[in-house]
Structure 1
Amino acid sequence: MSINNRYRVDGYARPGAMLRDLGLALLALLVLVWLWPLRTVPTGSRGVITVGGAIKGIEAEGFTLIAPWQRLDIFNIRAEEASVENAEGSTSDTQPVKVSLTVRYSIQTHRVAEVFEKYSHDGNLQSYVQTATQEVFKAVTAKYNAPDLIAKRGLVSSDILSALRLKLELYGAQVINVDMRNFSFSADYMSAINQKVTQEQLRLAAENKVRTVEAEQKQKVAVAEAEATALKAKADGEAYANLKIATAQADALRIQNSALAQNKDVLELRRIEVEMVKAGKWNGALPVNVYAGAPIPFFNPGGATAK
């Protein structure tokens, strides 16, 4: 029987039969979908299989077969972010401080069943992370005074990260990193800090100027001392040279005198040489006036005249 004839009797259409068949086909399709055993667990997820609400197994990424009486929930284990805006704290010297933080975390894969049962059916722990972050920030900032909180920001961030990892371990989450943003104090305190920084910079500039002047003075003193040392060395050298020359001259005279004293003939020969030089220069005229004690050429004091 053809389809057209199936829904016709005596040439008249049978709409009831057509609707019944469509209903049966739709029911069969629904039953097939409900009973279809092949499911998929996406990458970065785990499949939590439950029966009547009780966890029966954890499936990794990929295809998995699910019985009709089982339920498959997709549980995210990828890294997630939780932001905390304007978290408030107070330093050890009672200065209020605010900061915005971003925490990146993920669920520990071996604790998926525990987290699914106790905290979240899809791996979203944002509310737990935000609450824990605010508590940790308050606890850490209370350990530092305001100047240290600024000067040791890296250490503060490390303390927050360590404390947050320890706290979120309870919820089966592992903290990847923590970013701090918009770190600020009250307006009055920030103004006081700026004034202090300005004064410190002026003080350092003055100290640097004093050190520069001192260095210049020391350099000048060193140059003067070097010049004085050089002059002294030169004077010492010249004095030493003069001393050596005088000593040599004295030694020569002493040797000469000693030689003359030991040889009278040499001395007489020198006297004769001198007289000969005088005679060579004499013009033959005797002096008109002779004074007592005045020398007369070629006159022998012993009474003999020159021949």
Structure 2
Amino acid sequence: MPLPPMPMSASTLAKIVAAIIVMIVAVVVWPFYSVPTGSRGVVTQFGKIVGIEGEGLAVLPPWQKLSNFSIRAEKADIENAEGSTSDTQPVKVSMTVRYSIATDRVAEVFEKYSHDGNLSSYVQTATQEIFKAVTAKYTAPDLIAQRAKVSSDINAALREKLALYGAQVINIDMRNFAFSESYMHAINDKVTQEQLRLAAENKLKTVEAEQKQKVAIAEAEANARKAQADGEAYANLTIAKAQAEALRLQNAALAQNKDVLELRRIEVERTKAEKWNGALPTAVYAGAPIPFLNVTK
């Protein structure tokens, strides 16, 4: 049979109660607080902001309270933000905005907008407003063609807007613009027609280039033939001039020396005599010379 528990002495009970009281008091009046990296500690006294603590250990009196406030980069997703272009085309876009709270605006943001640094709802609302305002300045084709400028305009306007809430924009990721289905079909048809037009222009340019090439080849061949003909004519003229000059010189020489002409005649007669076989011609034609022999020798 187990023994009954020993009754607790009054002194022991007093020590336990005292320890519990000390623990409660320590918890209530504990002066040590920790501010994690990427945060600031907002110190309040009876609900009023009395200071901002940096990262690390903070020691506060019991009548003050510390709340950790994030200054890390946060993000806000805006799905299907709606707008309308200047030519009344409805357009949607999805964006992700990354932002953070300016360190010198922590107390203001804590007091007016958020106790933990999350301004997602404010960022989403502001982004919707900015998107509508910016897209209203562009036509639908310009919104597509000038995407980089549109993004820059949204970024600049959103920075200015969020600065009112103590936030600073880090970057904006903007996905493709989405237009109505009918408009997208119209754009696709226009792109197709433009591609066909460019293909036709390129083909025409190719044909024109080929024709120009053929004309250039024909002109080159004609010039070559002309140059050849001119060369041949020049050569013939030069030869004719040379022959005429030679004949002129020969005639001049003969005119100056008749003995040379007589000598040539004698040589011709001698050649004829050497080739004669002694037979007289069987037929004598009118005016033909009659050969004769010199019988005196």
TM-score when normalising by structure 2: 0.91
Residue 200 and residue 296 in structure 1: after superposition, are their counterparts in 2 closer, same or farther (change >3 A)? same
State the match for 1:236 in structure 2. Answer: 230
Residue 40 and residue 197 in structure 1: after superposition, are their counterparts in 2 closer, same or farther (change >3 A)? same
Residue 305 and residue 209 in structure 1: after superposition, are their counterparts in 2 closer, same or farther (change >3 A)? farther
In 1: Cα distance, 2:213 partner to 2:222 partner: 14
State the match for 1:145 in structure 2. Answer: 139
- For residues 227-273 of structure 1, what are the alpha-carbon distances to aligned partners after superposition, in whole Å with 9 as ceiling and x for unaligned? 22212211211111111111111111111111111111111111111
* 1:118 CA displacement: 2.0
State the match for 2:63 in structure 1. Answer: 69
State the match for 1:198 in structure 2. Answer: 192
Q: Secondary structure at the match of 1:28?
A: helix
Determine if contact 1:298/1:305 at 8 Å carries over to the other structure: no
Aligned length: 294
Q: Secondary structure at the match of 2:277?
A: coil
In 1: Cα distance, 2:137 partner to 2:6 partner: 91
State the match for 1:293 in structure 2. Answer: 287
State the match for 1:30 in structure 2. Answer: 24
* 1:295 CA displacement: 2.7
* 1:147 CA displacement: 0.9
State the match for 1:3 in structure 2. Answer: none
* 1:149 CA displacement: 0.9
Q: Secondary structure at the match of 2:58?
A: strand
Identity of aligned residues (%): 72
Q: How does 1:37-48 map to 2 (within 5 A)?
A: 37-48=31-42
State the match for 1:5 in structure 2. Answer: none
In 1: Cα distance, 2:266 partner to 2:59 partner: 150
Select 1:214's aligned residue among 208, 211, 219.
Answer: 208
* 1:205 CA displacement: 1.4
Gaps of 5+ in 1: 1-7
In 2: Cα distance, 1:23 partner to 1:250 partner: 152
In 2: Cα distance, 1:162 partner to 1:305 partner: 139
In 2: Cα distance, 1:18 partner to 1:86 partner: 69
State the match for 1:136 in structure 2. Answer: 130
In 2: Cα distance, 1:51 partner to 1:298 partner: 168
Determine if contact 1:298/1:306 at 8 Å carries over to the other structure: no
State the match for 1:226 in structure 2. Answer: 220
* 1:108 CA displacement: 1.0
Q: Secondary structure at the match of 1:124?
A: coil
State the match for 2:117 in structure 1. Answer: 123
In 2: Cα distance, 1:109 partner to 1:305 partner: 154
In 2: Cα distance, 1:264 partner to 1:245 partner: 28
Q: Secondary structure at the match of 1:167?
A: helix
Amino acid at match of 1:295: P
* 1:111 CA displacement: 1.6
Amino acid at match of 1:206: A
Q: Secondary structure at the match of 1:85?
A: strand
Residue 37 and residue 305 in structure 1: after superposition, are their counterparts in 2 closer, same or farther (change >3 A)? farther
Matched, 1:185 2:179: yes
Task: Calculate the aligned-residue CA RMSD, in Å.
Answer: 2.4
Is 44-53 or 281-290 further displaced after alignment? 281-290
Determine if contact 1:93/1:145 at 8 Å carries over to the other structure: yes
Q: Secondary structure at the match of 2:62?
A: coil
* 1:116 CA displacement: 1.7
Is 142-151 or 230-239 further displaced after alignment? 230-239
Gaps of 5+ in 2: none
In 2: Cα distance, 1:157 partner to 1:27 partner: 62
In 1: Cα distance, 2:284 partner to 2:79 partner: 133
